Each structure stands twice: as structure tokens, then as C-alpha cells.
Amino acid sequence: MNDSAATPKQILEALLFAAEEPLSSRRLAGMLEEVTPSVIADLVRELNADYLRETRAFQVQEVAGGYRLVTRAEFASWVGELRASGASPRLSQAALETLSIVAYKQPVTRAELESIRGVAVEGVLKTLVDRELVRIAGREEGMGRPLLYGTTDHFLEYFGLPSLDSLPRPDELEILFADRERQEELQLEDELAAPAFGEHVAADEE
Amino acid sequence: MNDSAATPKQILEALLFAAEEPLSSRRLAGMLEEVTPSVIADLVRELNADYLRETRAFQVQEVAGGYRLVTRAEFASWVGELRASGASPRLSQAALETLSIVAYKQPVTRAELESIRGVAVEGVLKTLVDRELVRIAGREEGMGRPLLYGTTDHFLEYFGLPSLDSLPRPDELEILFADRERQEELQLEDELAAPAFGEHVAADEE
Amino acid sequence: MADEARSGHTVRIESLDFEGPLDLLVYLVQKNEVDIWDIPIALITEQFLGYLQGMTAERLESAGEFLLMAATLLRIKSQMLLPRPQLEDDEEIEDPRRELVLKILEYQQFREIAEELRDRESAGRLVFPRGLQEWDDELERESGPGMPEPEDRVSLGDLLRSFTRLIDEARRDRVHHLEPLAVTIEEKVNFVRERLRRDGQTSFRDLFVAGEPRSHWIVTFVALLEMVREGEVRLRQGETFGEIHVYAAGEGDGVA
């Protein structure tokens, strides 16, 4: 069918096509031989350019420390019909909040999660462990040695994240904290002048 | 990404790409709408011509049940390598139960496993040892010196546990996996025992 | 206090559902458009309590958390009303609201990240990886392998749930399954030996430990019979239906 020898790009495509999980560039490079991980990234770019030009219905996605082939979003309604039975339910607000804390604070104990959310999280944690979005990451040293939780590779896959670093940076927080320091200075000045912490005084300022 | 509307050929490709079983032309025609089964055969021919021209590593294959996408035969050795490195059949419920007892009671004899599970576990133990989830951990002192079983490093890897010590203790298990009813009871106890919000705020200051 | 709170701003809030007390606080801060660094604590406390009063029975399971927060708010409110102590030049006094504000901000930040995750979840639901197919060998020989067999992994959750279920079952039929196996004849033989070594003799009745399940008594009895058969112990009964005494062989006299 094809007389010429298989090219690295074709082999890469065959591997991505046949894989059931994202393949890291290291693993791909190991199987391709004579190819370094950085070449893999170039080949992936070439493949995606091919697919775009040839209006293929899928593309290579960089996710969870590797690459995988996925359908393009514009075919979601057709493919969704096909895969409807396998779809997992959307995560609840409680699950998403808990998950975002786990993602940023990991490894993190249940007590810390509850202190930040202000509510019990055990039911939510169970769901997240069940859905393999959260894993047990060890135990904290010290009293009671509570379990520590962290996110899984499936977490990255589920949210289409190449790595944990690609989580949205909490820039807002930095702004808030900078703000807080300024506020504290102001407040201190206020305090020195004011007789009491009267909130009516504060309200009047508005 | 793609301004023009999705074409039937693209939709067909997306469906074949994501399908978990061969799709019959009748089923495909049903999902594509406005397309007869005979048109499907034409579209498949077009797709295969595209793939050949563009030297893609896969093709549409017609099998008994319909059509499916497969990698071309010339990439078999690479795909075979990928396959060899993953994939083993799912553990049976019996294996899972036995494994959970080994994990918690190790080192444990076969007799103990059988007394807890109430059935013979010889075959299951062999499977677990073959799959390198369970190992022989020594012999018990005393009568008959029966073999003792324990879990392996691969067991930890398989379940994403950093160490044996991070297996939830029975009390932690109750919180994570107890029946709904008992969980509610526990939750209530927790609440009654929980420190006042103000207290852990104060503790956080440190 | 109740009437005061009711006269406040409870009307629209009570029909809303909140994830927890912090969620409610964030809502109140935003709704009132107050400066987060200068929260009018009396107003917010009043509205917060108003919400608690409107809480429906179904929400009561999380009432504890709301009540704790209410207590915190009331404490802060009372601290705010205290006259401020005289300050030395470089002495700082912390605003009683500060810890609460930091908590609200931290929570708010994670809520924003949760929103981002929600968007990503929605986007993720629009793309699909390759479908995993089962392949039979015959077809593979023709075409080369397409996909590996689905690696149907068992998760840690499956493993833990499986163990939990076993514990539950064991608990339910403890008497039938676990207890008889919890003690062996050998252990009971040792137990009798130990007792005889210590006391020289023992009464038959004392060997049957109160509170032990009946099945253990049977094991003890079988152990005792075994020891009599081996000539290791002797039994003596003073009178018919009287107390039976157990001696190590060679001690006492008369054999049962």
C-alpha cells in the first residue's frame, strides 16, 4: 500500500491513534527511537497543521503531561449522541470548590479543606476519590497523621489541562493581598485617629 | 476554527473515530440525517482515498458489524509494543475483595483469607501473585508454617498510593466509604465534636 | 434579636441555596456592595441570622456550620463595640474582623478557580478521545492491531469500598462467621495450661469466661476434653452436680 518506509510522523500518529491514555513525549520518544522528546513536540505541531489543512474531525490535544487525539468541539452534538451512555455527570459546585482547593493546596488534609470551605467535605471527597479526580497523597506528620489528598492525572485529563502549572494563576489573590497591605496601612492610620472600632463610623465613611 | 458548517464526511469521520464498536451504515445514516446508507459507502470510500493521499497511519475498515477505523498493518509492531506495555483484564470482584483483605491484614495466611471471605481463595491468590499485586511475604511460625501473603510495590503503583501507610485506616474508611446512613451518623458526631469556628481561626494565626 | 433580624433583609435571601456559611457571607458582602476591608458587621450579622431563621428543614443538616459562623459574627460584633484600649506608640491592635475577612477572601478566590474549572469541564465535554474497542484476533491478523484492549482498571475507591463492605458484612453476622474462627482449640489449651500453672487448679466454671460468645465455650470444652484424653489434666467432682475441679496431671487425686 505504501512502499516507502514508515516516517516518524506516521508512527507517532499510529501510536496516538491506538493509545487509550495520553502518551508523554518521553514515552513516545522511547518507542520511536532516534527521536528526542523535543522532536516529538515538533511532530505533534506538524500533525495538527496537517489535520487543520485537511479538515480532519480530530486533533492532537496536549493534556496531563502527554498527547492524545480528540474530536474537535464542533462535532460534539453528533459524537455526544454516540457516547451518551458513557457520559459522567457534571461535578457539583461543592465538588468543584473542593477540587480547586485540593489542586492549589496539595497535599492537603480534610481539616484544611473544611477550614477553607467552612463546611464538611467528606461526602464530596468520597465522590472525588471515586471519580479518580482526587487521590490519597500520603499522611501528614504529627498528631493523628491525617491523610493527605492530591489531584490525579485523570483530573488533568478531565479538565483538559497539560499540567498543574497550567491551572489559572491566582493573580487576583496577589492583587488582593497587595491591596490588603495597602489597606492595612490605611487602617492603622485610621485606628490611630479613631476612638473605637465603631462600625457606624465605618459605614458613615461610605 | 472552522467557519464552514460540518460536512457529512467530517461528521462520519468524527463518529468512526469515537465509536466503541463498528458502526453499521444504517446506524451512521440515522445519525447523519439526510443521508442514505448507500451514501455512507461513498463517503467511506472518499475518506479512505483522503487517508491514502495524505499518508495517514490509519484507514476505515469494513467488518461484519459495519465500519471502524484501524491503524494500518505496517504500524503493527509499534502499536503492538504500546499494547504490550499496558492492558490487563479487569480484576474480578473476588480478586478485589481478597486483595483488600491482604492489604489490610498483611502478612496474612491463606486460611485467614478464607475464613474472612468464607470461600476458597487459592485461584484468586494465584491470579494476584501472577499480576504482581500480591507477594509471598514469608512463613508463619508454628504449626505447618503456612505461607504469609502481603502486597507488592506494584500494588501501591496500581492504586496510586505513595506508601502502604497511606491506606485509609478503618476509622478513615468509615468516613470515606461507609454506607450513607452511617455516614450521616458520623457526620453528626463530627459536628457535635467540632471546635467552634472562632477557635480554629485563632489557631490559624500561628 | 429575632424580630430585629426579621425586620432586616431576609426576604429574598431565604429562598436561595448556599454551599455553606462562607458562600452566604460572600453573597451578603456583594449584595450590600460593602468594602470587604470594612464590613459593616452589625448589618451583615443581622442579615446572616435572618437567613438562618428562614432556613428550611431540608437544609438543617448543615445548620451546625451556619450556627458556628453566626456565633463568630456575634463575637466579632461585640468586640467591635468594646471601647478601644489606650495604645502605646508602636502597639498595634488587630481589627476583630480581620481573620474573617481573610477567610472570605480565600474562599472567594477558590470559588473563582472553581468557576474556571467549570468552564473547562464544559469545554472538555465537547471533545472525545478515541473510542475503546474490543478486538478479536482474527480481525487483527488482517489489519494489525487497532486499539489495545480496554484496560479496565480498578480504582482505589473500588478496593476500599470492597473492604468496607466486607467489614460491614462481618459486623452484621459477627456471631455466625467471625467469632467461631476467632479462637482455636490450641489457644484454649494454652489458656487452660496457663491457668493451671498459675493456680495449680481451677474450677471448671472459671474456665468459661463470662461475656465470651457461646462458641468460645464450646472450643474451651473441646480443648479440655482433649487434655483429659492426653492425660494432661484430671477432673474431679466433689459431689454429684457439684463444682468440677480441674487439676494438672499428677496434682490432686481421682479421675473423672
- Which pLDDT score, from 0 to 100, does residue C179 have? 42
- CB contact under 8 Å between B71 and C151, yes or no, is no
Higher pLDDT, A41 or C18: A41
| Percent of the residues in chain A that have a pLDDT greater than 90, as a whole number | 50
The answer, yes or no, to whether residue C221 has pLDDT greater than 80, is no
What are the cell numbers at C168? Answer: 460491614
List, for residues A57-97, the tens digit of each pLDDT value. 999 999 988 999 999 999 999 998 888 776 788 999 999 99
Tell me which of A200 and B140 has the higher pLDDT: B140
CB atoms within 10 A of CB A90: 12
A68 reaches B (C-beta below 8 A) = no
- Give kind and range of the element (H or E) at residue C4: helix C2-6
When pLDDT is averaged across residues B128-146 and rounded to a whole number, the result is 89
Written in H, E and C, the secondary structure of C197-228 is HHHCEEEHHHHCCCCCCHHHHHHHHHHHHHHH
Give the model confidence (pLDDT) of B154-197 as tens digits: 898 888 888 888 888 877 877 666 554 444 444 444 433 333 33
| CB neighbour list of residue C157: distance below 8 Å, 6 or more residues apart | A126, A129, A130, A132, B177
**pLDDT in the model for residue A62:** 92
Q: Say if the Cβ atoms of C132 and B173 lie within 8 Å.
A: no
Q: A57 — contact with chain B (CB < 8 Å)?
A: yes
Q: Count contacts between A and C (CB, < 8 Å).
A: 173
d(CA A144, CA A163): 32
Q: Which amino acid is at B160?
A: G
Q: Would the pLDDT of A187 be above 70? A: no
Q: List the subunits that have 3+ CB pairs under 8 angstroms with C.
A: A, B
pLDDT at C89 over 80: no
Q: Residue B193: phi, psi to the nearest 5?
A: -90, -15
Q: What share of chain A in percent tops pLDDT 70?
A: 79
Q: Is it true that the peptide bond before A107 is cis, omega within 30 degrees of 0?
A: yes
pLDDT number for residue B163: 87
Q: Which pLDDT does position B200 carry in this prediction?
A: 35
Does the beta-carbon distance from C133 to B21 stay under 8 Å?
yes
Average of per-residue pLDDT across C36-55: 86
- Of A97-106, C11-20, C67-76, C228-237, least confident by mean pLDDT is C11-20
Instruction: Check C120 against A90: CB less than 8 A apart.
Output: no
Q: Average pLDDT of A38-50? A: 94
Supply the pLDDT for residue C243.
62
Give burial (CB, 10 Å; 0-12/13-18/19+) of B118: middle
Q: What ipTM was reported for this prediction? A: 0.72
Q: Is the pLDDT of residue C132 over 90?
A: no
Confidence of residue C239 (pLDDT cuts 50, 70, 90): low
Q: What is the pLDDT of residue C237?
A: 60
Q: What pLDDT does residue C91 have? A: 64
Contact B162 A21 (CB under 8 A): no
Identify the top-confidence range among A23-27, C143-147, C197-201. Answer: A23-27
- Sheet strands (E) in B119-200: 134-139, 147-151
The answer to whether residue A26 scores a pLDDT higher than 60 is: yes
| Confidence at C59, pLDDT banded by 50, 70, 90 | low
A69 touches chain B (CB under 8 A): yes
Chain C: residue nearest A188 by CA? C92
> Among B32, B75, B163, whose Cβ lies nearest the Cβ of A138?
B163
3-state secondary structure of C231: coil
Q: Which of C127, C134, C143 would you mutate first to test chain A, the one with the most A CBs within 10 A?
A: C127
- In this prediction, residues A142-150 reach a mean pLDDT of 90
Average pLDDT along chain B: 80
Nearest to A78 among B14, B160, B176 (CB): B14
Residues in chain A closer than 8 A to C19 (CB atoms): 93-94, 97, 117, 119
Please report which helix (H) or strand (E) contains residue B59, including its range.
Answer: strand B58-63
Decide if pLDDT at A177 tops 70: no
**Mean pLDDT of the region A163-185:** 61
**How far out from the chain centre does Cα A156 lie?**
4
- Out of B101, B143, B192, the one facing C166 most closely (by C-beta) is B101
Which residue does chain C place closest to A130, by CA atoms? C157
Instruction: State phi, psi for A138 to the nearest 5 degrees.
Output: 130, -160
pLDDT at A102: 95
Closest CA to A54 of B49, C38, B38: B49
Mutate: best of A32, A106, A122, partner B, most B CBs <10 A: A122
User: Chain A: residue nearest B201 by CA?
Assistant: A115
Residues B133-156, mean pLDDT to the nearest whole number? 90
- Half-sphere exposure in the Cβ direction for C71 (13 Å, CA): 12
Q: Which of C144, C154, C161 sits opposite B177 (nearest CB)?
A: C161
CB contact under 8 A, C139 and B88: no
C242 CA: distance to closest CA in chain B (Å) = 38
Rounded to the nearest angstrom, the minimum Cα separation between C247 and chain B is: 27
Lowest mean pLDDT among A136-140, A189-193, B186-190, C95-99: B186-190
Rounded-to-integer distance, Cα B13 and Cα A14, Å: 16
The whole-number pLDDT of residue C8 equals 43
Q: Out of A57-61, A149-153, C59-63, which region has the weakest mean confidence (pLDDT)? A: C59-63
Three-state secondary structure along C153-177? CCCHHHHHHHHHHHHHHHHHCHHHH
User: With bands split at pLDDT 50, 70 and 90, how would you rate the model's confidence at B76?
Assistant: confident
Written as nine digits, the cell of B112 is 485467614
And the C-alpha cell for B23? 458502526
Chain B contact for A71 (CB, 8 A cutoff): yes
Cβ–Cβ gap A72/B175 under 8 Å: no
Q: Is the pLDDT of residue C207 over 50?
A: yes
Is residue B135 scored above 90 in pLDDT?
Answer: yes
- Residue A113 has what pLDDT? 94
Given the C-alpha cell 465605618, which residue does it identify? A202
Query: Does C64 score more than 80 pLDDT?
Result: no
How far apart are the CA of C5 and the nearest CA of chain A, in angstroms? 18
Helices of type H across B54-109: 76-84, 93-105
* Mean pLDDT across A177-204: 46
Whether pLDDT at A31 is above 80: yes
d(CA A19, CA B83): 8
Mutation site for A-interface testing, chosen from C128, C152, C155 by largest number of A Cβ within 10 Å: C128
> Do residues C144 and B69 lie in contact, with contact meaning Cβ atoms separated by under 8 Å?
no
Pinpoint the alpha helices (H) of C85-150. Answer: 98-124, 137-143
Identify the pLDDT of residue A103: 94
Q: Give the best residue of C38, C44, C98 to mutate against chain A (max A CB count within 10 A).
A: C38
Contact C149, A121 (CB under 8 A): no
Q: Which of A68-72, C55-59, C75-79 has the highest mean pLDDT?
A: A68-72
Q: Which residue of A has its CA nearest to C149?
A: A20
In B, residues 100-159, which contact A (CB 8 Å cutoff)? none
When pLDDT is cut at 50, 70 and 90, the band that residue C164 belongs to is confident
Spell out which residues of chain A touch residue C20, defining contact as CB-CB under 8 Å. 117-119
Contacts of C162 in chain B (CB under 8 A): 93, 96-97, 99-100
Residues of B in contact with C101 (CB under 8 A): none
Q: Is B188 on the interface with A (CB under 8 A)?
A: no
Q: Residues with Cβ < 8 Å from C228, sequence gap 6 or more?
A: C234, C235, C256
Confidence of residue C198 (pLDDT cuts 50, 70, 90): confident
How far apart are alpha carbons C7 and C43 in whole angstroms?
12
Q: Do A20 and C114 touch (CB under 8 A)?
A: no
Q: Which H, E and C letters describe B172-188, residue by residue?
A: HHHHHHCCHHHHHHHHH
Report the percent of chain B where pLDDT is more than 90: 31
Number of CB atoms found within 10 A of residue B133's CB: 23
Helix (H) or strand (E) holding A184: helix A171-193
Q: Which residues of A touch C103 (CB under 8 A)?
A: 116, 118
Return the number of CB contacts < 8 Å for A and B: 135
Query: Distance (Å, rounded) from C-alpha B109 to C-alpha A112?
Result: 39
Instruction: Please answer yes or no on whether C71 and B179 come within 8 Å at the CB atom.
Output: no
Cα-based distances in Å from C155 to A151, A167, C161: 14, 25, 10
pLDDT band, residue B33 (cuts 50/70/90)? confident
Q: Which of A33-42, A119-128, B178-187 has the lowest mean pLDDT?
A: B178-187
pLDDT score, position B59: 93
Closest CA to C113 of A121, A10, A99: A99
Which of the other chains make 3 or more beta carbon contacts under 8 angstroms with chain A?
A: B, C
**C64 to chain B: nearest residue by CA?**
B191
Q: Rounded mean pLDDT of A149-168?
A: 90
pLDDT band at residue A1 under the 50/70/90 scheme: very low
Chain B CB contacts of A19 below 8 Å: 82
Top-confidence residue, C240 or C139: C240
Q: For residue B89, how far is the Cα from the chain centroid?
A: 9
Q: Chain C contacts of A132, Cβ < 8 Å?
A: 155-157
Whether A149 has a pLDDT exceeding 80, the answer reads: yes
